[in-house]
Amino acid sequence: MAKKSMIPYGHQWIDNEDIKAVTEVLKSDWLTQGPKIEEFEKAIARYCGAKYGVAVSSGTAALHLSYIVAGIKPGDEIITTPLTFAATANMMIFCGAKPVFADIERDTLNIDPNLVENLITPKTKAIVPVDFAGHPCDYDQIFKIAKKYNLLVIEDASHALGAQYKGKRIGSFADMTILSFHPVKHITTGEGGMVLTNNKDFYEKLKTLRHHGMIKKPENGGWYCEMEYPGFNYRITDFQCALGLSQLKKINKFIKKRKEIVEIYNEAFENIKEIVVPVEKDYAKSAWHLYPIQVQGVDRRKMFEQLKKDGIGAQVHYLPLHLQPFYQERFEYKKGDFPIAEKYYKKAITLPLFPKMTNKDIQCVVESLKKY
Ligand SMILES: *Cc1c(COP(=O)(O)O)cnc(C)c1O
């Protein structure tokens, strides 16, 4: 008999419709640079309430391009959270900028807007909030500061497709919003990402940079391409976009399923004082990308190992970036700089949460934790 498989912390849900959509494109003339790209961009932009979308090869590529388009240059500073995936800050490094971390809020685990203003210097160019676990940041406060100091807000919403802040969908209000379509995220294209924006100038620059910085100038001949600045090949393929379009049809169902699982977890852990469950504020509708609990009065590491023994592939999101050797060496960050993020990290376990989880999977997680 096959070994019992692990329940992962996140997983895609691909059905026959998805497979059919991809196969159709594989049989067509366009594998890349074809019509599915714009169709996907328009569909995501419409869903999120943004004017424009530019689809790229990954969320990381989307971050990189957005920073370049924002005019980030060597010596600039960008304020962000230490509790994020490394790519959020790594791409700042490749623009020569310094990630300036602000500690997080105890409850939402998002960047604390009250700590941002003190960090602003003449070098600060942007704020990059991350909607941790799918819960939107407190944007009224963030935009108030951004306006006052003339800073761009580039939102890393890789966790938050479909989330809402005060009734407005993520992607509709920031200067640029980043999405990822990695298989653990809400919908997938295998690898893939997107930048959403309402700014036409950003939109056009993003498209150019995705494709080597080349612009077609047919007035000089059908072959003629001009390059004003060097770009990348950050393109996504048509068959990936076909998958994304097919997946997008199911986004509301996916989020509903995620929310149902969250409610089962919340209820199961209600009277267990050792487990602190994630919150959802009045102003927010979370997209529930992750279900991060905090354990108290028990050994986190032993609990993690126990889950693993029971076939549960829990995770920890994330080791705060200022504790990563690279950030300590380059910028002299040190332990103790962001105590709330550090305290969270010591107690954190991300439990499995994905729409295709069965009731049996959910009960298995609950029982394993209760046993411990
Ligand atoms: C997934 C993720 C990214 C990177 O996305 P990729 O598509 O894997 O490159 C960036 N930021 C955050 C917060 C993420 O979760």
Beta 152-156 vs 176-180: how paired, if at all? Answer: parallel
Tens of pLDDT, residues 80-98 = 999 999 999 999 999 999 9
Residues 238 and 307 in one domain: no
Residue 142, pLDDT > 80, answer yes
Same domain (yes/no): 90, 140: yes
CA 216 from centre of chain: 32
For ligand 1, the distance from its centroid to the CA atom of residue 182, given in whole angstroms, is 7
How far does residue 331's CA lie from ligand 1's centre (Å)? Answer: 23
pLDDT greater than 70 at residue 99: yes
223 within domain boundaries: yes
Q: Please name the residue whose Cα sits nearest to atom 6 of ligand 1.
A: 59
CA of 178 to the centre of ligand 1 (A): 9
β-pairing, 124-128 vs 164-165, is: unpaired
Structural domain total, the chain: 2
> Of ligand 1's atoms, which has the minimum distance to the CA of residue 191?
7
Answer yes or no: do 186 and 261 share one domain: no
What pLDDT is stored for residue 4 in this prediction?
63
Ligand 1: which atom is nearest the Cα of residue 181?
7
Which one of 190, 219, 248 terminates a domain? 248
Model confidence band, residue 371 (pLDDT cutoffs 50, 70, 90): confident
CA of 199 to the centre of ligand 1 (A): 23
329 inside domain = yes
What is the phi-psi region of residue 249: left when phi exceeds 0, alpha when psi lies from -120 to 50, beta otherwise? Answer: alpha
How confident is the model over 168-193, as a mean pLDDT? Answer: 98
Residue nearest to atom 5 of ligand 1 (CA): 59
Task: Among 224, 248, 272, identify where a domain stops.
Answer: 248
CA angle 248, 108, 78 (to 5 degrees): 80
**Residue 218 placed within a domain:** yes
Report the CATH number at residue 328: 3.90.1150.10
Take residue 111 and report the two structure tokens written for it.
């960047």
How large is the average pLDDT for residues 345-353? 98
- DSSP helix/strand/coil, 294: strand
In Å, how far are 114, 153, 247 from 104, measured between CA atoms? 10, 17, 32
**For residues 152 and 281, is the Cβ–Cβ distance under 8 A?**
no
Q: Return the best residue to mutate from 65, 84, 88, 232 for the ligand 1 pocket (most ligand atoms within 8 A of CB).
A: 88
Beta-carbon contacts of residue 329 (< 8 Å; ≥ 6 apart): none
Which pair of tokens denotes residue 40?
Answer: 């996907």
Q: Which pLDDT tens digit goes with each residue over 314-340?
A: 999 999 999 999 999 999 999 999 999
- The closest-lying atom of ligand 1 relative to the alpha carbon of residue 132 is 13
Do 266 and 243 reside in the same domain of the chain? no
Instruction: Compute the distance from residue 273 Cα to the ligand 1 centre, in Å.
Output: 32
Predicted confidence (pLDDT) at residue 372 exceeds the cutoff of 90: no
Residue 182 lies in a domain: yes
Please report whether residue 4 resides in a domain: no
d(CA 234, CA 297): 46
Same structural domain, 217 and 256: no
The stretch 36-60 carries a mean pLDDT of 98
Q: What integer is the mean pLDDT of 31-48?
A: 98
What phi and psi values does residue 325 have, to the nearest 5 degrees? -50, -45
With respect to residue 7, please indicate whether it lies within any of the assigned structural domains. no
pLDDT at 3: 54
Which CATH number goes with the domain that contains 73? 3.40.640.10
Same domain, 289 and 319: yes
Answer yes or no: is pLDDT of 1 > 60: no
Residue 5: what pLDDT? 83
**In-domain check, residue 11:** no
d(CA 107, CA 40): 35
Q: Residues 132, 240: one domain? A: yes
Same domain? For 135 and 224 the reply is yes
Please report whether residue 176 resides in a domain: yes
DSSP conformation class of 311: T
Residue among 294, 291, 282, 245 at smallest CA distance from 264: 291
Q: Is the pLDDT of residue 2 over 50?
A: no
Ligand 1 centre to CA of 184 (Å) is 10
Of the residues 191, 223, 248, the one at which a domain ends: 248
Average pLDDT of every residue of the chain: 97
Ligand 1, CB cutoff 6 Å, lining residues: 58-60, 84-85, 87-88, 130, 156, 158-159, 180, 182, 193
Pair (200, 76) in one structural domain: yes
The answer to whether residues 93 and 157 belong to one domain is yes
Q: How far is CA 122 from the centre of its chain?
A: 28
> What pLDDT, in 10s, does the model give residues 3-17?
568 999 999 999 999
Residue 269 has pLDDT above 70, yes or no: yes
**Domain with 68 in it:** 16-248
Whether 259 and 318 share a structural domain: yes
65 and 124 together in one domain: yes
Tens digits of per-residue pLDDT, 273-305? 999 999 999 999 999 999 999 999 999 999 999
